[in-house]
């Protein structure tokens, strides 16, 4: 840990801005933070907590501004790139679009969602349900403009250009194979065997040329989408629950941990920021009691977010090196 902090101090000399060494911690509830997302400028964060529902946070004030109770069935949230709306959905057939500033409901759909993602122009939402129906929804009138079928996904993530989806199907040998699908045709583009471990998280690089997966064998793996081959394996020694590329694709945020349902055995977690090209650690933060189930960046790269099993959100903001903190 001390070596990691020394590295951060050295790293700050090389960059105009670095992430703060210690996070802002927001206590949400007792349930796990299953998903987090931020506005492009990092001013607001949306989270889903198992026992406290969907919440919207003002990052600068470190204050909750909206709360929406949940029955625990929500599993994914996203914020539009223009920062005006957020969407939440999950195992219950109820996807809801809301205004970030007011919290008012704009529209809802009777849809189950395994994954949700806004289009880059904030005009559409990509959705995939548990049966493998991939849908493009136009937000102006709520119409479903495209409906493609893939095998039922356990985990899924949409490419940034909205043209492909990466998924792990329930039938893919206990979630050990990642498949890339073309949304327009529904055709499989490439398959990536995850070998001897269950894959639990997928993220696309900003260029859409790579994806990263994390799984139960303690590795984060970066894949070449064109060839389906491994570019790099990052060994982390504990189960990987969440992965995300930074907006410039130079680093990646990885959430790991051990979980336990027994009170006498505490869950533990580590949030890693690693260099993509080398796999080397930039820094790490140990949560002590929280396996890390969700991670995210703001689009401008100014905010880094992680959500823990114990109901806490961890935030790191970039600061000028002149601040000395």
pLDDT digits (tens, 9 = 90+) for 304-322: 999 998 899 999 997 643 4
**DSSP codes, 143-206:** -EEEEEE-SPEEEEEE-TTSSEEEEEETTTTTTTEEEEEETTT--EEEEEE--SS-EEEEEE-T
Q: Rounded to the nearest 5°, which phi and psi values hold at 98? A: -130, 160
CATH of domain 34-149: 2.130.10.10
The pLDDT score that the predictor gives to residue 52 is 82
Q: With a cut of 70, say whether residue 172 has pLDDT above it.
A: no
Residue 23's contacts (CB-CB under 8 Å, 6 or more residues apart) are: 285, 306, 314, 315, 316
Apex CA 9: angle with CA 241 and CA 24, to 5°? 50
Mean pLDDT of 122-136: 93
- Mean pLDDT (the chain) is 85
Least confident of 96-100, 129-133, 289-293: 289-293
Alpha-carbon gap, residue 29 to 301, rounded angstroms: 27
Mean pLDDT of 177-204: 87
Using pLDDT thresholds of 50, 70 and 90, give the confidence band for residue 2: very low
Least confident of 172-181, 220-229, 257-266, 278-287: 257-266
Q: Is 185 exposed, middle or buried (0-12, 13-18, 19+ CB in 10 A)?
A: exposed
Residue 270's contacts (CB-CB under 8 Å, 6 or more residues apart) are: 236, 238, 255, 256, 257, 284, 285, 286, 287, 292
Alpha-carbon gap, residue 285 to 301, rounded angstroms: 18
User: Helix (H, G, I), strand (E, B), or coil: what is residue 238?
Assistant: coil
Using pLDDT thresholds of 50, 70 and 90, give the confidence band for residue 262: very low
CB 85 within 8 A of CB 122: yes
Nearest to 270 by CA among 258, 283, 287: 287
The Cα-based distances of 191 to 66, 126, 146, 167 in angstroms read 41, 21, 23, 10
The pLDDT score that the predictor gives to residue 259 is 57
Mean pLDDT of 23-45: 92
Least confident of 173-177, 213-217, 252-256, 291-295: 173-177
For residue 106 the two structure tokens come to 């704009």
Q: In terms of pLDDT, which residue wins out, 291 or 267?
A: 291
CB 139 within 8 A of CB 119: no
Least confident of 95-109, 166-180, 234-248: 166-180
CB 170 within 8 A of CB 192: no
Q: What secondary structure letter does DSSP report for 230?
A: E
Mean pLDDT of 59-63: 93
For the chain, the structural domain boundaries read 34-149
Q: How many CB atoms lie within 10 A of CB 158?
A: 26
Q: In terms of pLDDT, which residue wins out, 93 or 148?
A: 148
């Amino acid at each position: 840990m001390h070596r990691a902090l020394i590295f951060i101090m050295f790293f700050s000399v090389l960059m105009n801005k670095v992430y703060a060494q210690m996070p802002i911690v927001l206590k949400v509830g007792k349930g796990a933070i299953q998903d987090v997302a931020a506005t492009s400028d990092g001013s607001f964060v949306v989270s889903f907590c198992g026992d406290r529902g969907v919440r919207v946070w003002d990052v600068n004030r470190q204050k909750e501004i909206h709360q929406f109770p949940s029955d625990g069935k929500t599993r994914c949230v996203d914020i539009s790139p223009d920062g005006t709306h957020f969407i939440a959905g999950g195992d219950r057939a109820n996807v809801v679009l809301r205004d970030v500033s007011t919290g008012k409901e704009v529209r809802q759909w009777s849809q189950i969602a395994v994954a949700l993602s806004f289009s880059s122009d904030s005009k559409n939402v990509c959705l995939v349900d548990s049966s493998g129906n991939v849908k493009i929804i136009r937000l102006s009138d709520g119409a479903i403009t495209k409906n493609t079928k893939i095998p039922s996904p356990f985990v899924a993530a949409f490419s940034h250009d909205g043209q492909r989806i990466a998924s792990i199907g329930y039938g893919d040998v206990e979630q050990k194979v990642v498949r890339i699908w073309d949304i327009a045709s529904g055709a499989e583009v490439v398959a990536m065997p995850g070998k001897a471990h269950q894959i639990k998280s997928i993220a696309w690089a900003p260029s859409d040329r790579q994806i990263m997966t994390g799984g139960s064998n303690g590795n984060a793996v970066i894949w070449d989408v064109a060839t389906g081959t491994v570019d790099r394996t990052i060994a982390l020694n504990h189960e990987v629950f969440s992965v995300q590329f930074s907006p410039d694709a130079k680093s990646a945020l990885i959430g790991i941990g051990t979980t336990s349902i027994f009170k006498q055995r505490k869950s533990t977690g580590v949030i890693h920021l690693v260099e993509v090209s080398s796999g080397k650690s930039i820094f790490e933060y140990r949560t002590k009691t929280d396996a890390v189930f969700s991670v995210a960046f703001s689009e401008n790269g100014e905010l880094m977010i992680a959500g823990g099993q114990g109901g806490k959100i961890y935030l790191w903001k970039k600061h000028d090196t002149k601040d000395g903190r």
